Every structure is written in C-alpha cells, then in structure tokens.
Amino acid sequence: MTRVIIAKLKKIQYWIAGTAIAMVLVGAVYAHAQSKNHLGAFGDTANINDDLYIQAVKNLTKSVPKNETLVVTANSAVIKYFSDHPVKVPWRGKVTSEKTLVTWMSNLGYKYLVVVYTHGRGTSIAELKPIFSNKGLRALSADFQKLGETRTESAKLLLYKKIEQL
Amino acid sequence: MALENHNNLRKNENKSILSFFKSYGIDIAFVIFCIFLALYYNEFISVLRVPSHDGTVYLMNAHDWLSNEPLDEIYRPPLISWIIAGIWSVTGENWVLVKGLQAIFTIGAGVVLYILLRKYKGNAFAFGVAALTMVNGPVFLFSTQILTEGLSLFFLVLSMYFLKTQKEKYWFLAGITIALTFASRYPVFLQAIAIFVVESILTRKPKLALRAISSGVPALILIALIVYLKAGTFTTALSKDTTLSLLLSPYYIVNSINIWGIPFLLVPVALIYRRTYEDRFNYSFIVWFIVSLLFWSASSGNWQFRFAFQYTPAVYFLSILAIENIVKSSISVNSTIVSYHGAIRSRLKRIKRISRYELFGDFGNE
C-alpha cells in the first residue's frame, strides 16, 4: 500500500511539470493568435494592408500648391510623408465645432482640409468626432468647397478648400 | 574479417551521428525555428502597404538626418532613423526597403538570448525562453512595423550577454551596447541600468563596472550631443508621458494574460521557490522583470501593450524557471521519499511491536 502511495507521489510532480509545459505551449500559441484582437493597429480596423492608400494620398493632394499646410483629421504622419506637404491636426481644445475649425484655420492661414474616414470612422480624436462624423461632414459644405474624393480598400479620403469670406 | 570491420565502422558512424543529434538536436531545432519565424515575418511584412504613424515619423526623421533638414519629432530616439538613413544613403530613399528592419533585430535578440541561456541553463531551457519570446503576439506584431521595440530589445539582450561574461573587454562592449539601448529607445535604458547594477554587485569586481562606465558614458554623451547639435535641444519624451505616480497602475497585471498568455501565471510560481534565489544567474532576470513592471505601472496615464515588449524575455525566463523548479523539486521529493522509505518502514514495524506488547503484555511476545 505504502509503495503505491509513494509511486503516486513520485509521479504527481511530473504531472504538474507536464501540465505546466502544456499550459505554456498552448497558452503561447493561443495568445499569439489572439493578439491581433487586442492591438487596434493590427485588427480589422487597421489600414496597414491597404494597397491603394498611399497612392490615394498622393493623387488627392497633387492639386494642392507646394508648401500649403494640410489640416488632417487622421493619419497625419502618413499623409505628411507621402504628400510632401506640412500637416496640422486640429488638436485638443482649439477646435470643437465647424465654426471654431474655420476660425482656427483662418487665424493660422490654413486653406486645405483632408478628412480621412478609415473603416467609416472620421477620427480617433474624441474632441473632433462630432465635426467629422457623417453628419458633421455634410455640415462642412457650408464653409468648405469639396475639391476631391478618393476611395481606397479601407478608407475614404476627402479634400476640402476653405471658402474665403469676403 | 573485412565484413566485421565494415560493420563496426558503420556502428561507430551511427553512434557518432546519434551522439551529434543528442548534443545538438535542440540547437538544430532552434535554427529550424528561426528559419520558419523569418519566413513568417516575411509573409506578414510583404503584405504591409502603409507604415504605422510612429513608423512614418522615424522615416521622416531619417529623411531629415539624410537631407540635413530639422527633425520632425525631436523627442524620438535617433538610432532607428540613423540606421534607415544609413541604408538610404546607399540605396536611395524608399520606405519599402526598411520594412523588415526591426524583424531582423528581434530575431537577432532571440538568437543572442538563446546563446546566453544555452551556456548557463542548457539547450532546452534556452529554446523555451527564446521561442516563447519570439512567438509572443505583441513582440511579433510590433516587430513587423518600423518601430524601436525590437531594436532596443536586441541591444538590451546583447548588453546582458556581455555583462554575464566575466571579461573586461566584454564589459567594455556592454557599456557601448547599454548606450545603444538608450539611443534605440530612451526608457529601456533604465532596464539596461538595472541589469548592469545587479551584475556589478554580483561580480564584486569594480574594475569590470568601471570598464563598462568608461565606454558607456562617452557613448551616451556622444549620442545626446549629436541629437542636441541637430535639434538644438535634447528631449526624451513628450511632457505628458514623463509624469510618474506612486499609485501604481494595475494595467499590466490586469492585461498580463492578453500580453504574455497563460505562461504568465507561472511567474509567481517561480518567485515562491527558494531554488530560484539559490542560483545567482537568475537575479538579473528577476530584477529586470520587477523594475520594468514597476516603472511602466508608475506611468500616470500612458499604458500600452508594447511597453511590455522589452521585459517579455524576463517573463518567459521566470515561467520556464517555474517548470524547471517543479521538475527539480520532484527529483528532490523523490530522493527524499526513497531515503526516508526504509526509515519509515522500520519505524512502522517498531510501532506495531510496541502496540502488540502494550495490548497483550508479555503474552503478546512470541
């Protein structure tokens, strides 16, 4: 009887070790497979695999005179690098409505606005969401003239020019 | 006679092949693993069409270094942009050429980690830690981008490799690689310093520490000076990201399973074993893990999965160490059971005899 108990005791540590190894292997593979869901930049809402995006940025901004600053709602660095234009994001606090956007742009002498809709979302900046939602975009037509629109696999890019007030 | 000799020769050959596979089987498996990982990276990176926001900033900074224009974002660490600028100075500016740059450094970090652990902990242990680190989701995914995580991990692991070797010239190189860790990603410098301090205390050879300082400090000054001369200032982060709080965030503990997977559950198991603290080799990994976790948890508002990137090897080291402790403790439990087995049996016999005597008195004796 004692021999049986001892034999079982001997085995139990190996069982724990075996379970730990299995846990590590299965856990690592499962975590790897799941990681895309936890990281927004790689999930379904990302545009990193969009074949047409860079070309679309280049085509859309071709008509903008050199050295003119583009006010962009998203992907500021990508648009800056591939359009070769200075860019500015209407950052926190300064812009909360279409009216403040127009005033802010006028004060700084900016004329061009690029609105980016990636997977139907206008901007990731919470303060700007009311302006660049679908509803906000329609409202923009009062102060802005639409110069162009282009679609990619994951996004819609719109170029506006601010209407100069007399 | 000739046939017998021939058979003996074949037997010896088979034996030597077997012993070769026994000695290098895991090494071969690791090489195959690295090849498959490189192919997987290639498959993932080849379909990448748009760089990430941060990646584009490093591209723009590389362009600025190359064309002598002001830096787009001065607080970004310069090393990745310097490497990109170096490649572009030969090939011409094309972002597609540097898409896979970080993956090379991450695989490199895995190889250095394997070599380091193989020497001190054995092939199987090294394979476990290196493979788990390299297949970790955030480590893999962020390494497919033009970012600094894989680059800094490479220099951090390389620093540890040099520091674990008790030779002056290696500590001299460690000073340089610690400085390069700083140049590749500023906050990871703290992890390198923590490892350096632990190893300096453990070696008890001030000469070695001075060797590392003699190369590290000038290298750090040089890096900062180059950035200062270019940007007119030296900033390591946005001011909003530099505030630390004593009230630690539970973010990395709450998300630990999502970041490192179930193996993270074995980390506390490793820390409760006395055996973990008996081997001084483990100390730098323990400190690496604790310092990093505390530092990133002390951030007052910026917590991200990718900040856990650099101490992922420490997490998996402790996970595998937990398994090793369980296995080794089972051996000691077994040996204890075997050694006490005889003693327990004789005691039981004696107890039986005594009880019979007490129950039946002299009549109980045969």
CATH of the domain at A59: 3.40.190
pLDDT in tens, B92-116: 999 999 999 999 999 999 999 999 9
Whether A15 is covered by a domain: the verdict is yes
Residue B269 pLDDT:
93
A32–B261 C-beta distance less than 8 A: yes
In chain A, whose CA is at the least distance from the CA of B143? A42
Whether A63 is covered by a domain: the verdict is yes
pLDDT in tens, A70-125: 999 888 899 999 999 999 988 766 787 788 888 888 888 999 999 888 876 667 67
How far apart, in whole angstroms, are the C-alpha atoms of residue A43 and residue A23? 26
In chain A, whose CA is at the least distance from the CA of B137? A32
pLDDT in tens, B126-150: 999 999 999 998 999 999 999 999 9
Whether A43 is covered by a domain: the verdict is no
**In whole angstroms, how far apart are CA B12 and each of B2, B3, B19, B22, B24?**
15, 14, 10, 15, 18
User: B156 vs B2, which has greater pLDDT?
Assistant: B156
A35–B140 C-beta distance less than 8 A: yes
Residue B75 pLDDT:
92
Residue A90 pLDDT:
83
Chain B residues close to A9, C-beta within 8 Å:
333, 337
Q: What is the DSSP string of B69-124?
A: ---S-TTS-SHHHHHHHHHHHHH-S-GGGGTTHHHHHHHHHHHHHHHHHHHHH-HH
**pTM passes above 0.80:** yes
Chain A residues close to B263, C-beta within 8 Å:
23-24, 27-28
Mean pLDDT for chain A? 81
Whether B345 is covered by a domain: the verdict is yes
Same domain, A61 and A135: yes
Chain B residues close to A31, C-beta within 8 Å:
136-137, 257-262
Secondary structure of residue A161 in the 3-state scheme: strand
Residue B362 pLDDT:
47
Neighbours of B183 (CB within 10 A): 24
Same domain, A32 and A73: no
B72–A23 C-beta distance less than 8 A: no
Report the gap between the CA of A27 and the closest CA in chain B (Å): 5
Chain A residues close to B125, C-beta within 8 Å:
none
Split into its structural domains, chain A has a count of 2
Residue A31 pLDDT:
77
Provide the domain limits for residue B321.
251-366
Residue A37 pLDDT:
74
Whether B267 is covered by a domain: the verdict is yes
Neighbours of B1 (CB within 10 A): 5
Split into its structural domains, chain B has a count of 1
Give the CA count within 13 Å in the CB-facing half-sphere of B207: 5
pLDDT in tens, B19-61: 776 677 889 999 999 999 999 999 999 999 999 999 999 999 9
Same domain, A23 and A58: no
Same domain, A19 and A91: no
User: What's the complex ipTM?
Assistant: 0.83
Whether B326 is covered by a domain: the verdict is yes
Strands A70-72 and A155-162: unpaired
Which H or E run includes A160?
strand A155-162
Provide the domain limits for residue A143.
53-162
- State whether residue B333 sits within 8 Å of chain A by CB: yes
Whether B57 is covered by a domain: the verdict is no
Same domain, A126 and A150: yes
